[in-house]
Amino acid sequence: MDTKAPPKTDIVCIQNLTFSRGHRKIFNAISLDIKRGGITAIMGPSGTGKTTLLKLIGGQLYPDKGNIIVDQQNVHQLKRTDLYTLRKRMGMLFQSGALLTDISVFDNVALPLREHTALNESMIRTLVLMKLQAVGLRGARDLIPGELSGGMARRVALARAIALDPMMIMYDEPFTGQDPISLGILVKLIKELNNTLGLTSIIVSHDVEETIGIADYIYVLSEGKVAGHGTPEQIRNSDSEWVQQFMKGDADGPVHFHYPATDYKEDLFQ
Amino acid sequence: MIDFLQKLGQTTLTSLGKLGRGYFFLIHTLVGIISVLSRPRLLTKQLYSVGVLSFLIISISGLFVGMVLGLQGFYILSDFGAEETLGVMVAASLVRELGPVVAALLFAGRAGSALTAEIGLMKATEQLSGMEMMAIDPIKRIIAPRFLAGFLSMPLLAALFSAIGVIGGQLIGVGLLGVDDGAYWSQMQSTLDFQDDIINGIIKSIVFGFVVSWIALFEGYDAIPTSEGVSRATTRTVVNSAFTILGLDFILTALMFGDI
């Protein structure tokens, strides 16, 4: 492993990104930079396209306009083979886990190792057990994903995402659906992985407290724009009404809880 | 009127787009087969679920189709006093037509629908995009082994269908209706031609195996990733496979057996 300190450049630069689904503009010329080595959180209410953003960074979706530069490479101009080489260095944790349902937990974690390395089975076994130990599921290696709870499946997926020791991991809503104990462990785990492996972590989440607790830098998205960004402290003290409403979970504010509709009374007594 | 034209244009564009995607999908899959050859374990697993598990339905259907052919053939042929040629009739119908066609229809219903549902659900549960994010090409790892398995299984299943059908015809014709056993087999041997009948039948089943696997896997891969989308894709696999099999069968028959 490279022992030199990683260059202090930004690992992901998003420039003027515009993306729409159908007629709805999900991102409207947003720009954001993600620093190497830290934990960056991207927050915002459901439906602001947080998962879409991760898929754009991973090159699974194509933007209408704008560039995404990951590790100094423009993701959407790479050739297929180069994109795949880049993806080997990015781990992604899907909200559902996205484990292969027909093979065991062990084989799921071993999959990227078997596909991308020439290691022999005994080394693969050692590595897989180490990764599973890190997420506390070494004993569950022979289960198939159908026998796991949602939270466990996500931890297996985390073990799989770190199997190849990537340079960065993207977490899609890692805290949703975890019980308090695994939540606490998971928060600790993300932090530890980030520090010990020298990773860059991108967390997409709407769980304010957990995310604020571990993030070094936060972007808050709203309606296709960056509504605010800064360190957790700066975000807490932000003077943007929007950011304040999101952080405190207020019902009143610039964001409406209700989907746009006609007048309630009129609708009832029609 | 404008509405109608608009709809027509929309439908044409949608289906052309799908055709194009299907074509690229096929090319990508065929390229992916090369990497499957170096990892036979992926293939054997699929050969089992696509091929071996279809054994029962193919054998039982083959037996009954052969028995029906034995009955019907006997009644017609005995009118002309030609019941000795029952073996020829049963075997020729099976090897040339019924074997490849009925086996392919059953294969589309049994294995094709399963493949579509499996791939569609893998897409819906993000397994496919999860693999892509791990830099594993799902077409190479998931689609290509299944395609190859379908392509290899189909001719074998069709041959099995025909063979069991011939035995079914013999059970009824010889066992029940009293056709001479020697005549049943010897007439069959002397009349059926290896090149014209058997090889042509095998070619048909190879073609059907190719298109059914292609349709089934592509419909799954192209499915809208919701429960409704997967269910519609599964239906489309069975319906489109049936149309394609029957249409291609006509064309192939005309080319092989007609004097065009």
- Among the partner-chain residues B126, B137, B141, the one whose CB lies closest to the CB of A94 is B126
Confidence of residue A4 (pLDDT cuts 50, 70, 90): very low
DSSP B53-83: GGHHHHHHHHHHHHHHHHHHHHHHHHHTT-G
From the CA of A235, how many Å to the nearest CA of chain B?
A: 31
Residue B14 near chain A (CB below 8 Å): no
Q: What is the pLDDT of residue A3?
A: 44
ipTM computed for the complex: 0.79
**A174 vs A183: CA distance, rounded Å:** 9
A99·B126 Cβ contact <8 A = no
Helix B144-170 / helix B99-107 crossing angle, nearest 10 deg: 130
| Torsions phi, psi for B178 (to 5 deg) | 80, 25
Mean pLDDT of chain A: 84
The answer to whether B193 faces chain A, any CB pair under 8 Å, is no
**Does A131 contact chain B (CB < 8 Å)?**
no
B137–chain A Cβ distance below 8 A for any pair? yes
Does A78 contact B at CB distance below 8 Å?
Answer: no
Q: Are A112 and B126 inside 8 Å of each other by CB?
A: no
Q: Are A28 and A18 in contact (CB under 8 A)?
A: yes
Could you report the per-residue pLDDT of A179-223, keeping only the tens digit for each? 888 788 888 888 888 888 888 899 998 888 888 888 888 888 887
Prediction pTM value: 0.85
User: Shortest CB distance from A98 goes to which of B130, B137, B141?
Assistant: B130
Tell me the helix, strand and coil percentages in chain B, rounded to 5.
90, 0, 10
Q: Which helix (H) or strand (E) holds B159?
A: helix B144-170
Contact A94 B129 (CB under 8 A): yes
| Joined tokens for residue B213 | 């696997």
**Distance to chain B for A11, nearest Cα, Å:** 17
Which candidate from B125, B127, B135 shows the least CB-CB separation from A84? B135
Per-residue pLDDT tens listing for chain B (260 residues): 888 999 999 999 999 999 999 999 999 999 999 988 888 888 999 999 999 999 999 999 999 999 999 999 999 999 998 888 999 999 999 999 999 999 999 999 999 999 999 999 999 988 998 898 888 889 998 999 999 999 999 999 999 999 999 999 999 999 999 889 999 999 999 988 888 889 999 999 999 999 999 999 999 999 998 999 999 999 999 999 999 999 999 999 999 877 65
Q: How far apart are CA B173 and CA B176, in angstroms?
A: 6
| pLDDT above 90 for A154 | no
Chain A residue with Cα closest to B35:
A115
Are B130 and A85 within 8 A, CB to CB?
no
Query: Is B132 part of the contact surface with chain A (CB cutoff 8 Å)?
Result: yes
Flag if A96 and B126 touch (Cβ within 8 Å): yes
Show residues of chain A in contact with B36, CB under 8 Å: none
* Number of C-beta neighbours around residue B127 at 10 A: 23
